[in-house]
């Protein structure tokens, strides 16, 4: 039987009885968001498979329960990639969960984020209606951009059933260079590179070393590598994968993990904790206990926000507080999709 | 209030006058005419008044007065929109953002520019060029259209194939909602907490909020750029070449196509040096390091030849490149000289269906006896058939509209969309009924209500009422029963 029908039936019933649903992929990202206990599981894993893939059209349409592993294997066969390089955080991670969390990896500042690559979705709203927005073409401005709105909404607006993503050819060559630099100088350097027409595809700084990945046509990568200089990192793929999957040494241990998203050129923050920087300075990780309000204040000062990514007590708020008018607006939006508040309520904010 | 004319209306206009300086309000009929339509000039209506505020505080004041009197507000940039988005709605005022045209700040470290919504698209790239930066989305109307209008339409341009649409190049917005409340959406950081309202604002056609400030992402100007001009003896061969280039894993900076009628028109207009005898030309822009360009150029040339390109010209120097693009960017006005009127369509299709859709359009062109010029963003599968007609000849406008509607239905049928970049506005309300189900439209209306519960921002645009679609559905049935050309549409 079509899984879609089963899922729709379950949402309809939950709606009729105002019962809370807990949307589940493989559970690889259960750590993310607020801790919510109650709710009956809505299992997405059975709803999997590629629906339509046309490498020459640069898109793939797939069911939300398809694993990232499966997706990437299919793309690799045709020499293509998911440009936003999402982290898996688990072998069975699904594309639906990845998009619901809005996660992107090292390529993000240079190629775009998860939402940038979503072309269309099919979803179940909180009344159990199956709706389609967007499509399989690159340009489409018919109706509001619901597809992208759903990315990062943590399942609180709708259940992703099917998604269409834009894909791109795999770069011909990659090269990672390492330079020894203190944090402040590294941030300046990453931003200077980003302001030049160089084929940069990833950057990171940790413990006095700056890592830079170049991707593109072989000749372009070689020329840029000569211009930039530094030591060539061997086993570079493993380095970026470990970083993306948070298996890098920095992420080991139980101390809580905070994520700061900032204007990339922000200087080193006045915080004593160990820091790892990604995304040309735009994404910064901190370990250890933090005073949430103080950290959020610092992040806001640099045009950004702070998230308790892992650890500590996640039963309070874990995301940066919203201004009152934005929170009120988002509550109304939540209602517009899920009038009875049955889809992952409280996972994003207590009030959504 | 709008309907009761007389004293209610006077009280409203008095309140507006009190809220604005003298030079910021137009109420006399002769002053209102320039605002009766946008680039889709067949749809005209006079606004109740036109407000031309100088700053955000005045925009806010206008919104508050309109809220108090329950009056609708139609935001307007430069009025170059092609779907009637800025056309006045019944009983509403036009709120022009054209005077908010300051470039507020350029942040070289973070590669961003903060501008007011009335700044012209091209002015941004011109201003930051000395820093080696530019703003990527470049609609053909870029000398005139405003960044606020670009946000509202999620505009593209010839370079969006590689560098994305407006949605991919805006970092933050300052927005006033229907009641004048200030919202800060997005930031200089890579993402923002909560729902992605920034994405939702893009292409929302002025229905969700009035944009009063934009922070844009700037990109480094590519090291080298070249433009390839390839001539083909058939439209189908050119379309196949487009698919072949993308299928080979090459993403050009731009990949545009023009057919014979468009070529001749552009050539007569700007003398770009296009081959007049070609059935179609492709303009393909490549950028990158010198080494990379060599490799790519070679690959593209081979593909073009394989697909039957008769002649291939390569422009490397800036002057020739700009001349080649000038012909393309001036194509709409150039085609406009061929007939008293033209109707510009905007649909997207999967690239691989290009050839067959173009052939079908040519067949319909013969059937309706109306010429069509094609000039479009081929790499994105974004068609712009320009249907030529003469409004003074009885029934030609109706024929052009019927023809256009058929093209859009074909776009949906082959898996595309009724609008790639020009928006729904008023023009495509009926086509929306073909693309969305009633449940989907109802969802879109609920989103609107979350922002603007009274429905006062750009009323009657972008999303058709369920009622309208239901009536249209009934009309479609009639289509099947009656001979088509004689049928009155309404
Ligand atoms: C010759 C020609 C070529 C074109 N080429 C292209 C092209 O290549 N690509 C493309 O995408 N488009 C193109 N267009 C269409 C048009 O130029 C774009 O849609 C443009 O973005 C409209 O900008 P504008 O300032 O003229 O907006 P307007 O026409 O004034 O308004 C457009 C819409 O935006 C809303 N709006 C305007 N300002 C604001 C604001 N500050 N806040 C909220 N809502 C607002 C209006 O209500 C309306 O719904 C072309 C048009 C012409 C005439």
pLDDT(B483) > 80 = no
The answer, for A228 touching chain B at a CB cutoff of 8 Å, is: no
B382 vs A115: CB contact, 8 Å cut-off? no
CA distance A282 to chain B (A): 6
Q: Which residue of B has its CA nearest to A139?
A: B420
Considering only residues B329 and B285, tell me which one the structure prediction assigns the higher pLDDT: B285
Q: Ligand 1 centre and the CA of B285: distance in Å?
A: 24
Closest residue (by CA) to atom 9 of ligand 1? B139
The answer, for B297 touching chain A at a CB cutoff of 8 Å, is: no
Average pLDDT over residues A130-146: 95
pLDDT(B476) > 60 = no
Nearest-10 Cα torsion for A337, A339, A344, A349 = 90
Classify the complex by whether its ipTM is higher than 0.95, answering yes or no: yes
Q: Ligand 1 centre and the CA of A59: distance in Å?
A: 28
Domains of chain B: 7-96 (3.30.43.10), 103-220 (3.30.465.10), 224-333 (3.30.70.2190), 339-489 (3.30.70.2740)
Find the CB nearest A113 among B187, B191, B287.
B191
pLDDT(A243) > 80 = yes
Cα-based angle A347, A339, A305 (whole degrees, multiple of 5): 35
The answer, for A89 touching chain B at a CB cutoff of 8 Å, is: no
Cα-based angle B369, B375, B379 (whole degrees, multiple of 5): 130
pLDDT(B3) > 50 = no
End-to-end CA distance of chain A: 33
The answer, for A91 touching chain B at a CB cutoff of 8 Å, is: no
The contacts of residue B259 (CB under 8 Å, 6+ apart) are B235, B279, B280, B358, B373, B374, B375
Q: Kindly indicate the confidence band of residue A148, based on its pLDDT and cuts at 50, 70 and 90.
A: very high
A197 vs B382: CB contact, 8 Å cut-off? no
Q: Which residue of A has its CA nearest to B242?
A: A56
Q: Which residue of B has its CA nearest to A216?
A: B292
Residues 182-211 of B with CB under 8 A from A: 182-185, 187-197, 199-200, 202-204, 208
Average pLDDT over residues B339-356: 93
The answer, for B243 touching chain A at a CB cutoff of 8 Å, is: yes
B199 vs A115: CB contact, 8 Å cut-off? yes
Given this model, what pLDDT does residue A1 score? Answer: 62
Range scoring the smallest mean pLDDT among A252-256, B1-5, B218-222 = B1-5
Q: Kindly indicate the confidence band of residue A171, based on its pLDDT and cuts at 50, 70 and 90.
A: very high
Q: CA separation (Å) from B419 to B230, B352, B391, B464?
A: 27, 18, 24, 15
- pLDDT by residue (tens digit) across B387-424? 999 999 989 999 999 999 999 999 999 999 999 999 99
Given this model, what pLDDT does residue B379 score? Answer: 93
Residues 99-128 of A with CB under 8 A from B: 102, 108-109, 112-113, 115-116, 125
When computed from its CA atoms, the radius of gyration of chain A, rounded to whole angstroms, is 21
- pLDDT by residue (tens digit) across B257-267? 999 999 999 99
A129 vs B443: CB contact, 8 Å cut-off? yes
pLDDT(B359) > 80 = yes
Residues 191-220 of A with CB under 8 A from B: 191, 194-199, 216-220
Q: Kindly indicate the confidence band of residue A313, based on its pLDDT and cuts at 50, 70 and 90.
A: confident
pLDDT(A24) > 70 = yes
Range scoring the smallest mean pLDDT among B48-52, B62-66, B214-218, B476-480 = B476-480
Count of other CB atoms within 10 angstroms of residue A341: 16
A222 vs B194: CB contact, 8 Å cut-off? no
Task: Count interface pairs A-B at CB distance under 8 A.
Answer: 262
Residues 339-358 of B with CB under 8 A from A: 348-352
Distance CA(A330)–CA(B175), nearest Å, equals 15
Cα-based angle B42, B44, B46 (whole degrees, multiple of 5): 170
pLDDT(B488) > 50 = no
pTM: 0.95
Cβ B127 vs Cβ B81: under 8 Å: no
């Amino acid at each position: 039987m079509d899984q879609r029908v089963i899922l729709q039936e379950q949402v309809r019933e939950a709606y009729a009885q105002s019962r809370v649903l807990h949307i589940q992929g493989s559970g690889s990202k259960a750590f993310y968001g607020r801790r919510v206990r109650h709710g009956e599981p809505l299992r997405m894993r059975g709803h999997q498979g590629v629906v339509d893939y046309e490498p020459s059209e640069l898109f793939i349409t797939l069911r939300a329960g398809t694993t990232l592993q499966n997706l990437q294997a299919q793309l690799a066969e045709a020499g293509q990639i998911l440009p936003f390089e999402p982290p898996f955080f688990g072998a069975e991670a699904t594309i639906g969960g990845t998009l619901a969390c809005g996660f992107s990896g090292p390529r993000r500042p240079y190629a775009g984020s998860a939402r940038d690559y979503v072309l269309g979705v099919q979803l179940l709203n909180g009344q159990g209606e199956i709706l389609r927005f967007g499509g399989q073409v690159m340009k489409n401005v018919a109706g509001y951009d619901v597809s992208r709105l759903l990315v990062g909404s943590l399942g609180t607006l709708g259940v992703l059933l099917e998604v269409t993503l834009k894909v791109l050819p795999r770069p011909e060559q990659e090269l990672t260079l390492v330079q020894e630099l203190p944090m402040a100088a590294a941030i300046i350097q990453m931003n200077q590179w980003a302001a030049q027409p160089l084929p940069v595809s990833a950057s990171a700084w940790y413990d006095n070393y700056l890592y830079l990945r170049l991707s593109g046509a072989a000749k372009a990568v070689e020329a840029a590598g000569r211009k930039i200089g530094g030591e060539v990192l061997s086993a570079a793929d493993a380095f970026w994968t470990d970083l993306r999957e948070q298996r890098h040494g920095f992420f080991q241990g139980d101390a809580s993990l905070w994520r700061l998203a900032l204007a990339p050129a922000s200087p080193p923050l006045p915080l004593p904790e160990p820091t790892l920087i990604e995304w040309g300075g735009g994404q910064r990780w901190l370990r250890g206990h933090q005073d949430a309000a103080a950290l959020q204040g610092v992040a806001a000062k640099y045009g950004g926000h702070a998230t308790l990514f892992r650890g500590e007590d996640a039963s309070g708020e874990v995301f940066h507080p919203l201004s009152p008018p934005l929170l009120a607006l988002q509550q109304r939006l939540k209602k517009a999709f899920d009038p009875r508040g049955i889809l992952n309520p409280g996972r994003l904010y207590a009030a959504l | 209030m709008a309907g009761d004319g007389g004293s209610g209306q006077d009280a409203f206009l008095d309140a507006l006058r009190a809220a604005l300086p003298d030079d910021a309000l137009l109420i006399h009929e002769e002053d209102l005419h320039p605002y009766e339509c946008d680039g889709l000039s067949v749809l005209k209506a006079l606004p109740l008044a036109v407000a031309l505020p100088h700053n955000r505080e005045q925009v806010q004041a206008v919104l508050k007065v309109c809220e108090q009197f329950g009056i609708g507000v139609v935001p307007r940039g430069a009025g170059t929109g092609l779907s009637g988005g800025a056309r006045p709605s019944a009983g509403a005022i036009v709120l022009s953002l054209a005077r908010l045209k300051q470039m507020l700040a350029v942040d070289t470290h973070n590669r961003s520019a903060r501008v007011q919504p009335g700044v012209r698209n091209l002015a941004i790239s011109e201003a930051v060029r000395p820093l080696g930066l530019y703003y990527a989305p470049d609609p053909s109307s870029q000398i005139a259209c405003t960044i606020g209008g670009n946000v509202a339409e999620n505009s593209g341009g010839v370079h969006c194939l590689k560098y994305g649409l407006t949605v991919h190049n805006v970092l933050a917005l300052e927005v006033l909602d229907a009641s004048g409340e200030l919202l800060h959406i997005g930031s200089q950081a890579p993402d923002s907490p909560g729902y992605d309202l920034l994405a939702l604002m893009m292409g929302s056609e002025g229905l969700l909020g009035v944009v009063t400030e934009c922070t844009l992402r700037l990109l480094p100007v590519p090291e080298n750029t070249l433009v390839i001009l390839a001539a083909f003896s058939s439209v189908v061969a050119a379309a196949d070449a487009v698919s072949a280039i993308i299928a080979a894993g090459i993403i050009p900076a731009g990949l545009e196509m023009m057919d014979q009628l468009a070529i001749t028109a552009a050539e007569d207009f700007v003398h770009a040096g296009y081959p007049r005898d070609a059935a179609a030309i492709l303009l393909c822009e490549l950028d990158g390091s010198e080494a990379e360009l060599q490799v790519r150029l070679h690959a593209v040339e081979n593909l073009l030849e394989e697909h039957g390109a008769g002649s291939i010209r390569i422009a490397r120097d800036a002057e020739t490149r700009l001349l080649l693009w000038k012909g393309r960017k001036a194509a709409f006005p150039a085609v406009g000289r061929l007939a008293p009127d033209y109707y510009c369509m905007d649909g997207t299709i999967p690239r691989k269906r290009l050839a067959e859709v173009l052939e079908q359009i040519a067949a319909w062109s013969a059937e309706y006896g109306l010429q069509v010029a094609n000039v479009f963003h081929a790499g994105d599968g974004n068609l712009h058939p320009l249907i030529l007609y003469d409004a003074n000849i009885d029934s030609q406008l109706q024929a052009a509209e019927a023809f256009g509607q058929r093209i859009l239905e074909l776009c949906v049928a082959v898996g595309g969309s009724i609008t790639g970049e020009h928006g729904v506005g008023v023009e495509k309300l009926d086509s929306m009924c073909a693309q969305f189900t009633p449940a989907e439209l109802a969802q879109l209306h609920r989103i609107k209500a979350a922002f603007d519960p009274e429905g006062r921002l750009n009323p009657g645009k972008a999303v058709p009422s369920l009622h309208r679609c239901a009536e249209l559905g009934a009309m479609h049935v009639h289509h099947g029963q009656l001979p088509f050309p004689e049928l009155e549409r309404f």
